[in-house]
Amino acid sequence: MEKQKNKSSKSRSNLTFGIFLVVIGGIWLLKKLHISIRFPYINWHKIFHPFNKLLENFGDIIFSWPMFLLVIGLIMIATKKKMGPALAIVGGIFLIPIIFSIQ
């Protein structure tokens, strides 16, 4: 009985993580295709105006392949996989020029 509950909980957790990845991927795809979703009655520019400079390159940093490598590496480190540190280091090295706008 206990194993069945544990399996159900793990299955639900995997489903939630999968849905999260699909949503993040969808947002990234919409951003890359320059498609914006308009919500009526919400003026996002007024809400985020104080943070414009801070968030100017935020999307480019978060939705980049080096950040993907960094996050996967950190997850692998947390689960004690051997390739985790290597992925995190490579992702971090390639993320530095994006963060500091080095060209």
Domain boundaries, the chain: 1-37, 41-103
Per-residue model confidence as pLDDT tens digits over 32-80: 777 776 666 666 666 666 566 556 667 777 778 888 899 999 988 888 8
CA distances from 85 to 56, 59, 61, 78 (A): 29, 24, 20, 10
pTM listed for this prediction: 0.47
pLDDT (average), residues 3-15: 68
